[in-house]
Amino acid sequence: MTKNITVLGSTGSIGLSALDVIENLDGAYRVFALSARSNWKKILEQARRHRPKYVTVFDPAAAQKLEGNLPSGVKLLPPGVESLMEISAHPQADLIVDGLVGGIGFAPLVSAIKAGKTIALANKEPMVMAGETLMKECARWNARIVPVDSEPSAIFQCLECEGGAAAGDIARVFLTASGGPFFKRRGSLSGVTPRQAVSHPRWNMGPKISVDSATLMNKGFEAIEIAALFLLPLEKIHIVIHPQSVIHSAVEYKDGSVLAQMSRPDMRLPIQYAITYPDRKPSPVRPLDLFSIRKLEFYEPDLRRFECLSLALESARRGGGWPAVLSAADEIAVELFLSGLIGFNDIPSLVRKTLSAYNGSGRSISISDAVEVDEWARNKARELARTGGFRRKTAPRKIKC
C-alpha cells in the first residue's frame, strides 16, 4: 500500500533530500503535504512535481504569491504554525518527515505525537527542549520517533541490530562529530565570518545547523537528544571528533563489542532508512570505498575552545528547563551572528549569559512549561544582546546561505 508522507520544511536541506529519496522509492510513498518557510518558488515547483494534497508556507507574503498558482487539487493552507500542526496530525498522513529548524517545530511535533504518528525526525531543537517529556508523550499516544540525523540514526541502527537493545546492555555510546570547519584552525575564532562558519567540510546543511556544527553546539544538542531518545544516562555518551565522517556513531555493549554504522556522509541514507524502517531498500548513495579512505582518526573534543559544547553538556546535567533555555538562546545567538550583528565568540557568551539569568529547577518540564521557558529565554537573549555590549558598531551585510 502506498504510504502518505507529510514533509515539513520541504525546501530545506533535509526536505530536498527527503523528496529525492521518495522519488527513488518507486511509488511506494506518496507526497501528501508540503511545508516551507518562505521559498514559494521552490515549493511551487515541488507542488507541480509531486502533486500533494496540501501545501503551506509560514510567511504570509510567500503565501500570497502561491495563491491561485498551485496546480488543481492542491490546497493552500493559511500561513502559520496551525497549518503545520494540521498536516502533521492529518488522519491520512502515514509518516511525517520533520525537517523543520528551531523551536518553531515544537508545536507541530507535539501535534504529530498526539495523533500517534510515525515521525522521521531531523528537527532536534524540540528534543533538546523537552526530549524526556516528548518520549513519554510518544509512549502515551503510541507515536514513534525514528531519527533522521546521521548520528542518532547510526545509534538507532546499531541498537536495531541487537533487536532494540536495552539501556542496561550498553556500556558506552560513541557520538561522533566531524569537528566542523574550525577543528584544525589555530588561534582565536573571534574573527570568524558567517560565510566561513557555514562552510562545513563534510556535510551540506542549512545555515543554522552549519553554525551549530562550527561551534560544536550541534554535538551538545545531539547528546541531549540521544539521551532522551534511547534513555541513555549522559555519562555513557562519549563525544569523539572523527574528521572523516565515515563512522556516524557507535555503540559499545557490555561485553566490550562495539557496533558502528558507516557510510559516505550523505543525508539521503539516514533519511531513507527513517522512511522505509524497518525495511532496507536500495539507495542512490554511492557505496563506501574503504581503500580510498585508508585511515580513520579520532580525537577528544576541546571543551575550552568550543564552549558551546560544554554549556550544552552542563545544561543536560542540570536537566529541567536548562536545555530549553540553551536551545532558545542559541537560536537567537545564531540568528544575530548570521545577520552580522554579533561575532562568532559572542554566540557562547550570549548563551552563557542567558543560562546564568535562568533560575529554574532541575525538575522535568511539561509541554507547556517548555513553551514558556523557550519564550522567556528568547526574550532574555534578545535583551542581553541589546544591553550586553555585543553589537558591533557597523553591521556587515547579511549573507545569503
Nearer to Mg ion, 200 or 352 (CB): 200
- Count of residues binding Mg ion (CB under 5 A)? 2
Q: Which residue has the cell 511551487?
A: 44
Site for Mg ion in 221-250 (CB under 5 A): none
Q: Amino acid identity, residue 276?
A: T
Cβ burial of 273 (10 Å; 0-12, 13-18, 19+) is buried
Return d(Cα 322, Cα 149) in angstroms, integer. Answer: 23
Q: What is d(CA 357, CA 352) in angstroms, rounded to the nearest whole number? A: 9
* Smaller CB separation from Mg ion, 149 or 307: 149
CB 213 within 8 A of CB 203: yes
Binding mask 130-169 for Mg ion (x = CB under 5 A): -------------------x-x------------------
Half-sphere exposure of 45 (CA within 13 A, CB side): 8
Start-to-end C-alpha separation, the chain: 39
Q: Is 125 in the site for Mg ion (CB under 5 A)?
A: no
Structure letter (DSSP) for residue 184: S
* Comparison of 29 and 306: residue with beta carbon closer to Mg ion: 306
Indicate the residue among 29 and 221 with the shorter CB distance to Mg ion: 221
Give min distance, CB of 6 to Mg ion, in A: 22
Residue nearest to Mg ion (CB): 149
Contacts of 281 (CB under 8 A, 6+ apart): 25, 272
Residue closer to Mg ion by CB (options 98, 151) is 151
Q: Give least dist CB 309 to Mg ion, A.
A: 13
- In whole angstroms, the minimum distance from the beta carbon of 58 to Mg ion comes to 24
In whole angstroms, the minimum distance from the beta carbon of 294 to Mg ion comes to 24
CA 116 to chain centre: 21
Residue 146, strand partner residues: 120
Report the alpha-carbon distance of residue 375 to residue 381 in Å, rounded. Answer: 10
Q: C-beta of 358: minimal distance to Mg ion in Å? A: 26
Shortest reach from residue 331's CB to Mg ion, in Å: 17
Q: Which is nearer to Mg ion, 86 or 151 (CB)?
A: 151
Cβ proximity to Mg ion: between 151 and 252 the closer is: 151
Question: How near is the Cβ of 101 to Mg ion at its closest, in Å?
Answer: 13
CA pair distance 107, 130, nearest whole angstrom: 12
Contact positions toward Mg ion, by CB under 5 A?
Answer: 149, 151
